[in-house]
Structure 1
Amino acid sequence: MLNLRGREAILAVAVTAVLLHLGMFAAPASAGDGDKPRGGVTCPELVPDCDINAGGGAGGQGKPDKPRPGGKPSGGGGSAKCYIEWDNIGEVPCHDEDMGWFNSADQCYWEVLAPQPAKDAADWEWGTAAPDNDAERAKGKVYNVTCPGAGRELMGGSTWSLNPPPGFGGGPTAEELAQEAIKKMRLLGADIRTAPKVGKTGLVGMPVWIWNAKTARTWGPVTDSASAPGITVTATATVREIEYVMGDGGTEVCTTAGTPYEKRFGGQPSPDCGYRYTQTSASQPGNAFNVQATTTWVVHWAGGGQEGDITTTREAEPAQITIGEAQAVAKP
């Protein structure tokens, strides 16, 4: 239930909504203030070459690069972005001097009420979220919540919460915590194995088998989490595909880890991940084709009332394949 302060905020909401539509909102505060890097991703140790493309996030769409109201994509590195989907308002500042910090979970602004109500305030309606015990209640704070947009006034008012919402005070958003969880996973590129293997010679036109020696960090699934005050995000990574660049100008994209070759297969082609060379490797450095692989991981994350997907790639240690040509031997 709203107290007097909450009901007074309703009048400000109507004005705020008009200012939003007229583009008169205060300029965004930088999400990168302070020493902590915001947005972007630092590759984890042992993975010097990585790329991350984030989707979902602020509005909880859960799909990469989906346009949001106002024409802004949801992907991305750089500073955190905040959006209100109601009434097609679109992107808004993550901090407003009058309303506080934006909470993407409810698309409202939260500001610590000052001064805080006294523990024994007889006229204060704490609401159902606050514990009855004064000592427990003192562990949290009362926030003034403002929800811009037509018809959303009753979502605001004064609210007790044990922890600040995600993004409050410039802290990490749910999507940024998902990126932190990814770094903790230490995902790797493929562990490339082939038949013919290194040191052996295959033949032009004969099947080449390719596979990834599966571990959790080269194929998945891998699950990890990251936390900040009031929010925990859990992310799970699985491989979508591996693209092999075969060294002769050709590529092979495999959506499975591939089948390890066994002698009993003889000259059969791989059932799921294979290749055939049409020329020898004699002209290549070291007389071998240099095979490179890029693994595309898809990470689904959830937390803070949101969920989304992030794609990230990892490069493999190259492998070499030697290909020769069968020579006909004339009989005397």
Structure 2
Amino acid sequence: MLSLRGRGALLAAAAVAVPLHLGLAAAPAAADGGKPGGGVTCPELVPDCDINAEGGGGGGKGEKPKPAGDPGGGGGSAKCYIEWDNIGEVPCYDADMGWFNPVGQCYWEILEPQPAKDAADWEWGTAAPATDAERAKGKVYNVTCPGGGRELAGGSTWSLNPPPGFGGGPTAEELAQEAIKKMRLLGADIGSAPKTGKTGLVGMPVWIWNTKAPRTWGPVTASASAPGITVTATANVKKIAYTMGDGGSEVCTTAGTPYEKRFGGQPSPDCGYRYTKTSSSQPGKAFTITAITTWTVHWAGGGQEGDITTTREAEPAQITIGEAQAVAKP
């Protein structure tokens, strides 16, 4: 049972906490001061937290994140302190007690499983929400307060919002975004026939392709980690949308086929175009080809998986198109 006295008023105000009489035992107190915490997995109910993808340690579904001082955890700069009893610096996360709340200086952890809403011993304080629907928006937490002679005893409490300090690291999807940054994905490396410096003809086949490399076509794989979770993401190109500079466009779902002389005047088998006018009126007397690459990224980690779509622009390419002139014989 959570007993609110003295400093407990500060804790309740900060976390909108309501004491419950559930007959639930508090988690054991910390054995020692430990080390400062670092980037950790965003806990449930925390939509935003700073990404710290340094460090390692994969975590499976249902596993608790490792404490920041654990050898499998990552680095970081967060520091947490208990001011009384000369305890001093403590881990910002403890595998047994949860996340350190600097207001009240206790550890909070979501109680699993959550008590049934209609349980006979579900007793609410006067500040509790009036309806079950409102109560369901919050969570019951187990609160543990290390140190002897504390003004606030540990126990169980309901809170509408996570208390200060609850969390400190990324969600699995945020780590996936961090992995995407590491990939340094690019837009298409545009190749064309006729190539820059050569002149094509109105109505004749134009070949377009993306010079394939991992960062322009895929697959590219990268991982990002925080204590207790590692997310691995793999990116592949879904399509490339070319804007041809004359008002027309072409969408290719392959990288395209690089042109070779042996193909002669054949059209591209998978990514081609035909111009219906010359480029003589364009700046530099050439059409500017631009392209947007759509990448799909599948990620998995921490017992979750998902897909992210991202786009990249290509460096523009130039293509000159002329018109065949009939030469009259004398």
TM-score, structure 1 length as denominator? 0.55
* Preserved contact between residue 208 and residue 274 of structure 1 (Cα < 8 Å): yes
C-alpha displacement at 1:236, in angstroms?
0.2
Aligned CA distance change for structure 1 residues 205 and 150 (closer, same or farther; 3 Å): farther
Is the Cα contact below 8 Å between 1:191 and 1:317 reproduced in 2? yes
Alignment of 1:32-71 (within 5 A): 32=49, 36=50
1:324: which partner in 2?
322
CA distance in 2, matches of 1:268, 1:146: 66
Give the alignment's Cα RMSD to 1 decimal.
Answer: 3.4
Residue among 214, 217, 223 paired with 1:216: 214
Which runs of at least 4 in structure 1 moved beyond 4 Å after TM superposition?
147-153
| Aligned partner (choices 96, 115, 123) of residue 141 of structure 1 | 96
Q: Distance in 2 between matches of 1:248 and 1:172?
A: 45
Instruction: Decide which structure has greater helix share.
Output: 1
1:126-137 equivalences under 5 Å are none
Equivalent-residue separation in structure 2 for 1:151 and 1:264 (angstroms): 75
Q: What stretches of structure 2 of length at least 5 have no aligned partner?
A: 1-19, 26-44, 53-60, 68-93, 99-108, 120-139, 143-164
The one-letter code sitting in structure 2 at the alignment partner of 1:256 is T
Separation in 1 of the partners of 2:115 and 2:272?
A: 56
Quote how far apart the aligned CAs of 1:261 are: 0.2
Structure 1 residues 213-252: aligned runs within 5 Å: 213-252=211-250
Aligned amino acid, residue 284 of structure 2: G
2:48 maps to what in 1?
Answer: 31
Report the 3-state secondary structure (helix = DSSP H, G, I; strand = E; otherwise coil) of the residue aligned with 1:208: strand
Change over 3 Å in CA distance of 1:37–1:224 after alignment to 2? closer
The one-letter code of the counterpart of 1:264 is R
| Residue in structure 2 matching 1:309, options 307, 313, 316 | 307
Residue 261 (structure 1) aligned with residue 216 (structure 2): no
Q: 1:284 corresponds to which residue?
A: 282
Superposed displacement of residue 8, structure 1: 3.7
Partner of 1:195: 193
State the Cα deviation string for residues 231-253 of structure 1 (Å, max 9, x = none).
00000000000000000011100
Contact 1:7 1:157 in 2 (8 A): no
Residue among 295, 298, 314 paired with 1:300? 298
In 2 relative to 1, CA 307–30 (structure 1 residues): closer, same or farther, beyond 3 Å? closer
Q: Describe the shift of the 1:152–1:146 C-alpha distance in structure 2 as closer, same or farther (beyond 3 A).
A: farther
Residues 272 and 29 of structure 1: CA distance in aligned 2, closer, same or farther (over 3 Å):
closer
> 1:173 corresponds to which letter in structure 2?
T
Asked if the contact 2:183–2:215 (Cα under 8 Å) also holds between the matched residues in 1, the reply is: yes
Question: How far apart are the structure 1 equivalents of 2:258 and 2:118?
Answer: 58
Aligned equivalents of 2:118, 2:173: Cα separation in 1: 25
* Deviation at residue 171 of structure 1 after TM alignment: 1.3
Amino acid in the other structure paired with 1:172 = P
C-alpha distance in 1, partners of 2:21/2:112? 9
Deviation at 1:331, TM superposition (A): 1.0
> Would you say how many aligned residue pairs link Structure 1 and Structure 2?
204
Deviation, 1:146, is 3.7
Secondary structure at the counterpart of residue 245 of structure 2 = coil
Q: What are the equivalent positions in structure 2 for 1:45-194 lying under 5 Å apart? A: 140-142=95-97, 144=109, 145-147=111-113, 169-194=167-192
Return the alpha-carbon distance in structure 2 between the equivalents of residues 278 and 230 of structure 1.
59
Structure 1 spans left out of the alignment, 5+ residues: 11-27, 39-104, 113-138, 159-166
- AA aligned to 2:299 is W
CA 1:222–1:152 in structure 2 vs 1: closer, same or farther (change >3 Å)? farther
TM-score by length of 2: 0.56
1:150 to 1:331, Cα distance in 2 relative to 1, 3 A: farther
Structure 1 distance, partners of 2:196, 2:318, is 6
Q: Which residue of 1 aligns with 2:14?
A: none
Q: Is the alpha carbon distance of 1:236 and 1:149 closer, same or farther for their aligned partners in structure 2, counting shifts above 3 Å?
A: farther
CA distance in 2, matches of 1:29, 1:189: 34
Shift of 1:330: 0.8
Cα deviations across residues 132-151 of structure 1 (Å, max 9, x unaligned)?
A: xxxxxxx8424552455969
Residue 259 and residue 182 in structure 1: after superposition, are their counterparts in 2 closer, same or farther (change >3 A)? same
Q: Which of structures 1 and 2 has the bigger CA Rg? A: 2
Aligned residue for 1:123?
Answer: none
Aligned AA (1:196)? P
CA deviations on 1:200-257 (whole Å, 9 max, x unpaired) are 0000000000001100000000000000010000000000000000000111000000
CA distance in 2: counterparts of 1:306 and 1:29, whole angstroms: 17
